[in-house]
Amino acid sequence: MKTPFLRLGPVLPAVLLLAAGCGKPKEPAPVPSEQVKSGPSLSGEMEVYVPCGVAGPYGAIQELFQKRYPDVKIHFDLANIDVQTKRILNGKGTPDVFLSLGDREVKAVAAKGLVDGDPLTYAYNSVGLIVERKNPCDIEDIRNITSPKVKTVAVPSQSNSSGYYAELALKKAGVWGGLQGRLWVTDQPALVKEQLKAGRAQVGIVYYPCTRETSKVGGEQQHVQGKVQVLGKIPTDLSGPIPAQAAVIKGCSNPEAGRAFLKFLREDPVQDIWEEWAFDRAVEAKTGARTTLYVYCGAGIRPFMDPVVEEYKKAHPEIRLDVGYAGSGCLLSQLSFARRGDLYLPGEDYYLNQAKERGFLIGQKLVAYLEPVLIVQKGNPKKIEQLADLARKGLKVGVGEPEACAVGRAAEAMLKQARLFDKVRRNIVLRAGNVPELGNQVTLKALDAAIVWNVTATQVAGSCDEIKLPKTAYEPSPVPVGVLKFTKHEAAARAFMGFCASPKGQDLAKAAGMTPAEGSPPA
Amino acid sequence: MPEARRRARVSLFRYLVVSGLLLMVGIITVTLLSMATYVDAGTFASAIASREVLFAVKLTALTTTITTALAVALGIPAGYALSRYRLPLLTLIDTLIDLPIVLPPLVAGIALLVFFGTPFGQWIERNVMPFAFTTQGIVLAQFVPASSFAVRALKAAFDGVDPRLEQVARTLGCNERQAFWRVTFPLARNGLVAGAVMTWARAAGEFGPILMFCGATRFKTEVLPIAVFLNMSVGNVEMALCVTIILMILATGALLAFKKLGGRGYLW
């Protein structure tokens, strides 16, 4: 048997590893977080009221705090927030720190003049929807919880922030009236989950972070288990962001330590902990690329997206943007399966509306419009000047497949409106699944002409000539951006959405060959 | 029938058969060469030196090497077992292993996405490492189709070794393990290396599952096939073609090595 090639065996992987630089692809090294400066030395005892809902993050935070102030002896009281609030209001408890999950409880305490200094918002909270395991009532989001299959909806009482904001959301979603007679209200939010587990309610509303269960302080994060399933966050569009507040209580024994603790809650590493436990940050991350946003972006509008990402990075170095490009329809399936990611930018609102119908969106904005144009080979060898010329015998014309991409639907509508559809159809040799392909085929001279978006024409301007069409011939197609309900960084995702629609974003859209969305539609 | 006419008939038959082959060769050559006419040497050189292509080459080399190592590590025992043992439910096992080869690669991506949406998948992502939309996810997306392929190719290598040689080794005092390492493995080695090379080539060409499971993100999940896709999506045809040519060179090299090593088993 011949053997010389045997020696290739061990060599090949070695060569490949060398080529790979023997390491992982380089990613920007995380910048070390700002070192916590040691404060004035504090000592004495400090009492913290910790509601059950923050038991998880509190453990990690107390540990960090103790490292900074080892001389402070901390006692914490873990109980139902309602019980704790009442204790303070009745003068039976004067903790140094009252760590609330919302703002209603702190407001009630402040109204009685029991808060020392100002309360502080350490993070933003939200409410979430929980349903029975496997979702037998087929609840998609808050809007259809009035379904006749739902007999009982368990909600916290109005005196509790979660109940207060849940009611706001239910009212704004227009389902409050329809739920009357079916609400089961409790003073103890923890009982909402119990109601569902016991099969006595089909839907419940709890603080979204409470869907990450722990039984004890410093316990490990676990998603709700057993007979309950988390459907997701109720969009803050509906509930409004819930300020999670903490306060130092008047007459407490160690107000200095209490104030230091409050200040500590807004520091960078602690903000990370809140975020990890499904709160939204009150203070944006200062250094290092801590937040990664995943953007599903239609491949056709990459000429817009790439510069947007570059610009955004300059202004927000703390945000890392990972953009996945593919056909808009393909992305929709991908995000439906994956149930993760932060933003969706399909090339057309047709797909965004589908995402909306499936309940995946918690916000959207208009970015720009796309307008159909003709592209021909460089120098226009076939002398194509207008839409009607496409009917000329012997031309090879490309359009999009109407089922697969919006440019196909736009072309079909335009040709039908001009009564050219049947004549041009004879010349159509390619029905492409996406717009860039049409541009590429004209570049490669496989087509004489194609109907594409203005953004595509700008993209292939070096190798094709663009022929504009009269504005009366078509409807411009809106390009939207949406924030996905799966996002774990809602504030950051919304900020990026805002940037896309901002004047700067509009300039970039214009530069990419799109029609900016400012004002009314262009045609 | 006169001798001369019979010869002429044979020639006609041969003529037809060989011209069929030549036509095949012609079609493929012309298609491939037409790509080279679009890209001149200068463009190709600058494309190869670009940061994007270098990144794609490195990432492809890294991921495919890990994928191949994992696939071969699993494929050797699996291929050997399939080749040597009369297993219960053999047809079912065989069919299952072939499934990823036969199905469109995209399906593997969808299956992975769905799997990591399940509670078990999410547990893995939280406690082991995240896979969906990550660089390490690429290895997984390549592994699913490539490992099936590896099992197939490595089984063929073991099939090529007469089991009686092992039996003889056993009669001469070897135990099962020794018979494998001293007899079967050295004899199958060429075929195994050939199988590994083709597994590697298969992983390097993987596109669908990566697009679906990891997304096409520049400088993150941009292996060579994704680089072709990303460049096509912005009308950067030259760059896309350059990367295609790199892929073709790699594939040709892998195929030549495979044939030289006498590899067998069906390829795709």
DSSP string computed for A146-207: T-TT---EEEE-TTSHHHHHHHHHHHHTT-HHHHTTSEEEES-THHHHHHHHTTS-SEEEEE
Query: Both tokens of residue B9?
Result: 């008939």
Q: Do B113 and A334 touch (CB under 8 A)?
A: yes
In a domain? residue A188: no
- B28 and B45, same domain (yes or no): no
CA distance A97 to A138: 42
Q: Do B233 and A302 touch (CB under 8 A)?
A: yes
- B37 residue type, one letter: T
Domain boundary among A227, A257, A281: A281
| The predicted structure's pLDDT at residue A481 | 94
Query: Both tokens of residue B244?
Result: 């295609």
In a domain? residue B266: no
- B7 and B101, same domain (yes or no): no
User: Within an 8 Å CB–CB cutoff, is residue A113 touching chain B?
Assistant: no
* Shortest CA distance from A221: residue in chain B: B126
What are the two backbone dihedrals, phi and then psi, of residue A386, each rounded to the nearest 5 degrees? -150, 175
| Residue from the list A17, A334, A436 with its beta carbon closest to the beta carbon of B235 | A436
Q: Which of residues 220-239 of A touch B (CB under 8 A)?
A: 223
Q: Do A322 and B215 touch (CB under 8 A)?
A: yes
Percent of chain B beyond pLDDT 90?
Answer: 42
User: Within an 8 Å CB–CB cutoff, is residue A302 touching chain B?
Assistant: yes
Q: Do A12 and B200 touch (CB under 8 A)?
A: yes
In a domain? residue B265: no
For residue B165, how far is the Cα from the chain centroid? 30
| Residue from the list A19, A306, A338 with its beta carbon closest to the beta carbon of B57 | A19
**Which residues are CB-neighbours of A6 under 8 A, at least 6 positions away?**
B189, B190, B193
| Residue from the list A5, A13, A21 with its beta carbon closest to the beta carbon of B65 | A13
In a domain? residue A413: yes
- B47 and B168, same domain (yes or no): yes
- A275 and A380, same domain (yes or no): no
Q: Do B235 and A439 touch (CB under 8 A)?
A: yes
- A213 residue type, one letter: E
User: Within an 8 Å CB–CB cutoff, is residue B204 touching chain A?
Assistant: no
- Is the Cβ–Cβ distance between A96 and A48 less than 8 Å? yes
List the one residue out of A523, A422, A423 whose CA is nearest residue A470.
Answer: A523
In a domain? residue A61: yes
User: Within an 8 Å CB–CB cutoff, is residue A460 touching chain B?
Assistant: yes
Is the pLDDT at B2 greater than 70? The verdict is no
- B83 and B133, same domain (yes or no): yes
Q: Do A6 and B110 touch (CB under 8 A)?
A: no
Instruction: Identify all chain A residues contacting B122, using CB atoms and an 8 Å cutoff.
Output: 223
Query: B97-113: buried (b, 16+ CB within 10 Å) or exposed (e) per residue?
Result: beebbeeebbbbbbbbb
In a domain? residue B170: yes
Listed in order, strand segments (DSSP E) in A210-360 are 212-213, 222-223, 228-233, 242-249, 280-281, 291-298, 319-326, 343-345
Residue B64's pLDDT band, with cuts at 50, 70 and 90, is: very high
User: Within an 8 Å CB–CB cutoff, is residue A417 touching chain B?
Assistant: no
Instruction: Identify all chain A residues contacting B233, using CB atoms and an 8 Å cutoff.
Output: 299-300, 302, 325, 434, 436
User: Within an 8 Å CB–CB cutoff, is residue A513 touching chain B?
Assistant: no
Angle, CA B210 vertex, CA B205 and CA B216 arms, to 5°: 105
Domain that holds residue A46: 2-123+242-281
Q: Do A24 and B220 touch (CB under 8 A)?
A: no
- B47 and B1, same domain (yes or no): no
Edge to edge, what strands does the sheet with A428-432 contain? A428-432, A397-400, A449-453, A372-377, A464-467
**Which residues are CB-neighbours of A280 under 8 A, at least 6 positions away?**
A123, A124, A125, A126, A241, A274, A489, A490, A491
Q: Do B68 and A13 touch (CB under 8 A)?
A: yes
- A114 and A248, same domain (yes or no): yes
ipTM over 0.85: no
Is the pLDDT at B8 greater than 70? The verdict is no
- B10 and B138, same domain (yes or no): no
Domain boundary among A227, A259, A281: A281
Q: Do B212 and A334 touch (CB under 8 A)?
A: yes
- B76 residue type, one letter: I
Mutate to test the interface with A, among B154, B162, B233 (most CBs of A within 10 A): B233
- B72 and B123, same domain (yes or no): yes
The SS3 call for residue B248 is helix
In a domain? residue A252: yes
Q: Do B61 and A9 touch (CB under 8 A)?
A: no
Residue B80's pLDDT band, with cuts at 50, 70 and 90, is: very high
User: Within an 8 Å CB–CB cutoff, is residue A25 touching chain B?
Assistant: yes
Mutate to test the interface with B, among A15, A27, A294, A440 (most CBs of B within 10 A): A440
Query: Both tokens of residue A291?
Result: 């937040």
- Structural domain total, chain A: 2
In a domain? residue B268: no
- B203 and B165, same domain (yes or no): yes
Q: How far is A324 from chain B (nearest CA, A)?
A: 5
In a domain? residue A449: yes
| Residue from the list B58, B197, B214 with its beta carbon closest to the beta carbon of A25 | B58
In a domain? residue B88: yes
Q: Do A436 and B117 touch (CB under 8 A)?
A: no
CA distance A380 to A219: 70
- pTM recorded for the entire structure: 0.62
Q: How far is B18 from chain A (nearest CA, A)?
A: 31
In a domain? residue A12: yes
Domain that holds residue B12: 1-37
In a domain? residue B140: yes
User: Within an 8 Å CB–CB cutoff, is residue B255 touching chain A?
Assistant: no
Is the pLDDT at B137 greater than 80? The verdict is yes
- Is the Cβ–Cβ distance between A387 and A417 less than 8 Å? no
- B214 and B143, same domain (yes or no): yes
Q: Do B61 and A17 touch (CB under 8 A)?
A: yes
In a domain? residue A312: no
- A101 and A247, same domain (yes or no): yes
Q: Do B217 and A436 touch (CB under 8 A)?
A: no
User: Within an 8 Å CB–CB cutoff, is residue B76 touching chain A?
Assistant: no
Is the pLDDT at B187 greater than 60? The verdict is yes
Q: What is the pLDDT of residues B213-248, one digit of tens each?
A: 999 999 999 999 999 999 888 778 888 888 998 888
| Residue from the list A17, A300, A323 with its beta carbon closest to the beta carbon of B65 | A17
Q: Which of A388-392, A393-397, B38-42, B145-149 has the lowest mean pLDDT?
A: B38-42
In a domain? residue A135: no
- Structural domain total, chain B: 2
For chain A, which residues score pLDDT lower than 50? 1-39, 287-288, 519-523
| The predicted structure's pLDDT at residue A222 | 62
Instruction: Identify all chain B residues contacting A13, using CB atoms and an 8 Å cutoff.
Output: 65, 68-69
- B7 and B24, same domain (yes or no): yes
- B158 and B210, same domain (yes or no): yes
Q: Treating both helix axes as pointing N-terminal to C-terminal, what angle do B185-204 and A8-19 enclose, rounded to 10 degrees?
A: 30
| Residue from the list A16, A294, A322 with its beta carbon closest to the beta carbon of B61 | A16
- B116 and B16, same domain (yes or no): no
Instruction: Identify all chain A residues contacting B110, using CB atoms and an 8 Å cutoff.
Output: 333, 337
- The answer for A445, left when phi > 0, alpha when psi is -120 to 50, beta otherwise, is left
Q: Do B196 and A296 touch (CB under 8 A)?
A: no
Q: How far is B221 from chain A (nearest CA, A)?
A: 9
H or E stretch at A374: strand A372-377
| The predicted structure's pLDDT at residue A522 | 41
Q: Which of residues 161-180 of B touch A (CB under 8 A)?
A: none
Query: A110-123: buried (b, 16+ CB within 10 Å) or exposed (e) per residue?
Result: beeebbbeebbbbb
Q: Which of residues 119-148 of B touch A (CB under 8 A)?
A: 119, 122, 132-133, 135
In a domain? residue B267: no
H or E stretch at A392: none
Edge to edge, what strands does the sheet with A280-281 contain? A72-79, A44-51, A97-99, A242-249, A115-125, A280-281
How many beta-carbon contacts under 8 Å exist across A and B?
A: 121
| The predicted structure's pLDDT at residue B3 | 60
CATH number reported for the structural domain that contains residue A395 in this entry: 3.40.190.10
Q: What is the pLDDT of residues A421-438, one digit of tens each?
A: 999 999 999 998 788 889
| Residue from the list B193, B218, B221 with its beta carbon closest to the beta carbon of A8 | B193
| Residue from the list A6, A9, A20 with its beta carbon closest to the beta carbon of B61 | A20
- Residue the block writes with tokens 């720009």: A368
Instruction: Identify all chain B residues contacting A20, using CB atoms and an 8 Å cutoff.
Output: 58-59, 61-62, 65
Instruction: Identify all chain B residues contacting A456, using CB atoms and an 8 Å cutoff.
Output: 235
**Which residues are CB-neighbours of A29 under 8 A, at least 6 positions away?**
none
Residue B209's pLDDT band, with cuts at 50, 70 and 90, is: very high
Residue B68's pLDDT band, with cuts at 50, 70 and 90, is: very high
